[in-house]
Chains A and B, each alone.
Chain A
Amino acid sequence: MTATESTTRPTPAGQGPRLPRKLGAFLILSVLLVLAVAASLLFGARAVSLDTLSEALWHFDPSNGDQGVVASRFARTVGAIVVGAALGLAGAGLQGLTRNPLADTGILGLNAGSSMSVVLAIAFLGVSSLTGIMVAAFIGAAVVMTLVYLVANVGREGATPIKLALGGAAMAVGVGAITNAILMVSDSTLDRFRKWQIGSLSSTPIDTFLGAIPMVALGALILLSTARVSNAVSMGDDTATALGFNLPRARLLGSIGVVILAGTATAVAGPIAFVGLMIPHAVRLLVGSDYRWLMPASLIAGPVLLLVADTVGRVIAPPSEIQVGVMCAMIGGPLFILMMRSGMKSVSL
């Protein structure tokens, strides 16, 4: 994480839109979140009416089929909120602390690392509790993150965005081979994991998602505490150090936050890429580059993206559904290329 070329942000932190506009952006995001939640509960292979939704919310009747549909969608809605918040914020934190506009937990291989370590833990150590799986996911994400940064740091220019992305992709190839090998050992393992491995919110009980909330909250608090450092870093490592920030410590702390968020998200929903890439860039357009605003906004925008992706994946090809991980890749991939083609002059490749 040595200094690359200075100034990657178009607008220095602290400037950007005025306060009323920022508050307005938050209002818009909150409204979008409410709408996305409603859409997620209403639409699917079988649409339910608003009346049924309100009845199911206020007077739940287990014998009513339509209300049952709403109940089953409730779990994945909660899941999309938890996972989207974790991934969106993790992306914002990574991009800020490393001044790397291409940072994403999927692109850097963290999700792949978590997957491998979760599959290993379940297949060989017999881990079955959510806590155990989350710990395994943290370890995998942390190991891959360390390796990718060590690998990318080598060389004259240090950890440039493109080297990190390539290192992450290479690492994902390696750990992916190992994950596949473990999955192959038995058909039943494969059957259990092939849905999870793609990044999916269906068929996971709500307790799992609820159990992930404390970890996401912890990771979010850690990462939010680094917002001011990220602002300073956007002016260059040297400036940040001169302003009195302890960069190695902040980056270690931030990495722990990112690992917790990415690990938790992968543990409950499987590897989902590109959310952490897209959200901070989209949110930056709304609230500007000040990480004290950008990070909380990512926390709201992440769920919106995941809810929409999950809902669209359900209605696009009934009766089967396209998993949210696939949807995010199909939306995120083209956006990534668009970013690269248009405004990437600021990126020191």
Chain B
Amino acid sequence: MIRTAMSQPTGENPDQASHSAPGKITVRKNLVRRTVLWMSLALILTILAYLFWGRDRLPATEVLQVLGGQTVPGTSFIIMSDRLPRVAVGALAGAGLGISGALFQRWLGNPLASPDVIGVGYGASAAAVLAMITLGYTDWKLNAFALAGGLIVAALIYWLSASGKRTGPRLILAGLAIGAMLQALIQYLLTQAQVNTASDVMHWLTGSLSSSNWHSALILVISLTVLAAFLLPFVLRQLKMLELGEDSAAALGVNVPWARVLLVFVAVAMGALPIAITGPLAFVAFLAGPISAALSRGPINIPLAGLTGATLVIVANFFAANLFANLALPVGVITGAFGAPFLIWILVRANSTGSGA
């Protein structure tokens, strides 16, 4: 259960129902806490391992010296301007994508309905590709474009599907159709570009951390922190009530349409901002929530999903650098290739718990 620091203006406690089973809640909290602990440990250890074993093996003593604040020619440069920004961007992007995916999955009640599958991710990608190919943008303007693209597409999908009761399935189908159209648009833009630009764009479309630097890390830190600190707690509280059913949520004093708009905004922004820098990292938004839910044996916990997303990207980055001795794979290839088996596992699991798609 997520406790937010913000006070409830109505004095209603959304957790009131849980008082009936205090023992169960404590066990569940412990499980989430334990998962957070192990996940953080895995994240930190993988980051450390990557600092030593990236594309090139660095002497352990030199890495330790650099981490201790000394300057070692060569090693300092590799650590400070390549590996550290990479893991910073990777972890932030993973966290943003994980939270974004988990928000959609919980809201739509469907483990398959993550933003990268239902078209929102393609909106961000298409806008970024457009900006790269026709305007030649590379810096923060790309983030702005991706964010705008994601939001426009999300609004379009929402508008196309918003009617009557069964918003969920309609939204997913509209998203699939829009996604297919945007993919065609991206491919078309690719054929119109010079082969060099096309190659860059293709690299970006695969999802890669290789263009990470402190500047892009800073953009992500600021934007994601603002979203997570100011809007996310509010969204989480409303999400809990939306999950009780929209009628119940309205009865509890939630302005349902606005709650949905805010939720979509936060979810899209947290997913689209990283996409502008790393490209669409396949399956991260999709997998983070379900994996974290499986580990903590409960419903998807949004912050834990963020942590899981970060860990996924960092672990994938480690494998990307070390899997083949003479070939630096982009991270997106690892997450894409290893994501498919996970997808099957998630669905099998969804069956056994009865929360089928």
Given known A-B contacts A173-B117, A333-B177, A198 and B184 have beta carbons under 8 A apart: yes
Pick the residue among B116, B329, B343 that contacts A181 (CB under 8 A).
Answer: B329
Q: Are A194 and B191 in contact (CB under 8 A)?
A: yes
Judge if B305 is at the interface, Cβ distance under 8 Å.
Answer: no
**In this complex, what residue of A is CB-closest to B350?**
A155
Q: Are A174 and B176 in contact (CB under 8 A)?
A: no
Q: Are B336 and A166 in contact (CB under 8 A)?
A: no
Question: Can you list 15 A-B contacts (CB < 8 A)?
Answer: A155-B357, A166-B357, A169-B118, A170-B283, A173-B117, A174-B339, A175-B336, A177-B335, A178-B336, A187-B196, A194-B198, A198-B190, A273-B180, A274-B180, A320-B192
Q: How far is the CA of A337 from the CA of B118 in the complex (A)?
A: 13
Pick the residue among B196, B205, B340 that contacts A171 (CB under 8 A).
Answer: B340
Judge if A35 is at the interface, Cβ distance under 8 Å.
Answer: no
Question: Which residues of chain A are within 8 angstroms of B256 by Cβ–Cβ distance?
Answer: none
Q: How far is the CA of A234 from the CA of B348 in the complex (A)?
A: 28
Q: How far is the CA of A167 from the CA of B118 in the complex (A)?
A: 11
Q: Are A178 and B160 in contact (CB under 8 A)?
A: no
By the criterion of a CB under 8 Å from any partner CB, how many residues of chain B are at the interface? 59
Q: Are A180 and B205 in contact (CB under 8 A)?
A: yes
Given known A-B contacts A191-B195, A336-B173, A336-B177, A170 and B350 have beta carbons under 8 A apart: no
Q: How far is the CA of A31 from the CA of B218 in the complex (A)?
A: 62
Judge if B219 is at the interface, Cβ distance under 8 Å.
Answer: no
Question: Which residues of chain A are within 8 angstroms of B351 by Cβ–Cβ distance?
Answer: 154-156
B209 CB to nearest A CB, Å: 14
Q: Are A190 and B195 in contact (CB under 8 A)?
A: yes
Question: Which residues of chain A are within 8 angstroms of B343 by Cβ–Cβ distance?
Answer: 151, 167, 170-171, 174
Q: Are A170 and B112 in contact (CB under 8 A)?
A: yes
Q: Are B177 and A170 in contact (CB under 8 A)?
A: no
Question: Which residues of chain A are within 8 angstroms of B261 by Cβ–Cβ distance?
Answer: none
CB neighbors of A among B151-192 (8 A): 160-161, 163, 166, 169-170, 172-174, 176-181, 183-185, 187-188, 190-192
Question: Which residues of chain A are within 8 angstroms of B206 by Cβ–Cβ distance?
Answer: 177, 180-181, 184
Q: Are B117 and A169 in contact (CB under 8 A)?
A: yes
Given known A-B contacts A194-B191, A337-B174, A340-B173, A174 and B340 have beta carbons under 8 A apart: yes
Question: Which residues of chain A are within 8 angstroms of B192 by Cβ–Cβ distance?
Answer: 320
Question: Which residues of chain A are within 8 angstroms of B176 by Cβ–Cβ distance?
Answer: 107, 165-166, 169, 336
Question: Which residues of chain A are within 8 angstroms of B330 by Cβ–Cβ distance?
Answer: 181, 184
Contact mask for chain A residues 326-342; partner B; CB cutoff 8 A; 1 contact, 0 none: 10111011101100110
Contact mask for chain B residues 231-253; partner A; CB cutoff 8 A; 1 contact, 0 none: 00000000000000000000000
Question: Which residues of chain B are within 8 angstroms of A154 by Cβ–Cβ distance?
Answer: 347-348, 350-351, 356
Question: Which residues of chain B are within 8 angstroms of A150 by Cβ–Cβ distance?
Answer: 344
CB neighbors of A among B332-357 (8 A): 332-333, 335-337, 339-340, 343-344, 347-348, 350-351, 354, 356-357
Judge if B264 is at the interface, Cβ distance under 8 Å.
Answer: no
List the 8 shortest-distance A-B pairs measured between CB atoms, nearest first. A177-B336, A155-B356, A329-B184, A333-B181, A349-B169, A198-B187, A166-B112, A181-B333
Known A-B contacts: A167-B112, A273-B184. Give 6 more (CB < 8 A).
A147-B344, A174-B336, A180-B202, A180-B332, A190-B202, A337-B177
Question: Which residues of chain A are within 8 angstroms of B116 by Cβ–Cβ distance?
Answer: 173
Judge if B113 is at the interface, Cβ distance under 8 Å.
Answer: yes
B153 CB to nearest A CB, Å: 12
Judge if A106 is at the interface, Cβ distance under 8 Å.
Answer: yes
Question: Which residues of chain B are within 8 angstroms of A176 by Cβ–Cβ distance?
Answer: 282, 336
Q: Are B337 and A102 in contact (CB under 8 A)?
A: no
Q: How far is the CA of A273 from the CA of B176 in the complex (A)?
A: 12
Judge if B207 is at the interface, Cβ distance under 8 Å.
Answer: yes
CB neighbors of B among A62-113 (8 A): 102, 106-107
Question: Which residues of chain A are within 8 angstroms of B118 by Cβ–Cβ distance?
Answer: 169
Judge if A228 is at the interface, Cβ distance under 8 Å.
Answer: no
A44 CB to nearest B CB, Å: 18
Q: Are A157 and B356 in contact (CB under 8 A)?
A: yes
Judge if B286 is at the interface, Cβ distance under 8 Å.
Answer: yes
Judge if A197 is at the interface, Cβ distance under 8 Å.
Answer: yes
Q: Are A322 and B348 in contact (CB under 8 A)?
A: no
Question: Which residues of chain A are within 8 angstroms of B337 by Cβ–Cβ distance?
Answer: 174, 177-178
**In this complex, what residue of A is CB-closest to B111?**
A166
**In this complex, what residue of B is CB-closest to A168?**
B176
A273 CB to nearest B CB, Å: 6
Question: Which residues of chain A are within 8 angstroms of B339 by Cβ–Cβ distance?
Answer: 173-174, 177
Pick the residue among A169, A194, A340 that contacts B190 (CB under 8 A).
Answer: A194
Q: How far is the CA of A112 from the CA of B192 in the complex (A)?
A: 21
Contact mask for chain A residues 169-213; partner B; CB cutoff 8 A; 1 contact, 0 none: 111011111101101100100110011011000000000000000
B321 CB to nearest A CB, Å: 15
Given known A-B contacts A155-B350, A337-B160, A190 and B199 have beta carbons under 8 A apart: yes
Q: Are A329 and B340 in contact (CB under 8 A)?
A: no
Pick the residue among B172, B180, B190 that contacts A333 (CB under 8 A).
Answer: B180
Q: Are B187 and A326 in contact (CB under 8 A)?
A: yes
Judge if A323 is at the interface, Cβ distance under 8 Å.
Answer: yes
Judge if B203 is at the interface, Cβ distance under 8 Å.
Answer: yes
Question: Which residues of chain B are within 8 angstroms of A337 by Cβ–Cβ distance?
Answer: 160, 173-174, 177-178
Given known A-B contacts A177-B336, A191-B195, A337-B160, A170 and B286 have beta carbons under 8 A apart: yes
B175 CB to nearest A CB, Å: 9
A2 CB to nearest B CB, Å: 12
B115 CB to nearest A CB, Å: 11
Given known A-B contacts A173-B283, A178-B333, A187-B195, A102 and B188 have beta carbons under 8 A apart: no
**In this complex, what residue of B is CB-closest to A320?**
B192
Q: Are B112 and A184 in contact (CB under 8 A)?
A: no
Q: How far is the CA of A273 from the CA of B330 in the complex (A)?
A: 27
Q: How far is the CA of A166 from the CA of B173 in the complex (A)?
A: 8
Q: Are B187 and A325 in contact (CB under 8 A)?
A: yes
Q: Are A107 and B169 in contact (CB under 8 A)?
A: no
Q: How far is the CA of A323 from the CA of B188 in the complex (A)?
A: 8
Q: Are B199 and A184 in contact (CB under 8 A)?
A: yes
Given known A-B contacts A151-B343, A177-B335, A330 and B357 have beta carbons under 8 A apart: no
Question: Which residues of chain B are within 8 angstroms of A314 by Cβ–Cβ distance?
Answer: none
Question: Which residues of chain A are within 8 angstroms of B336 by Cβ–Cβ distance?
Answer: 173-178, 181
Q: Are B207 and A326 in contact (CB under 8 A)?
A: no
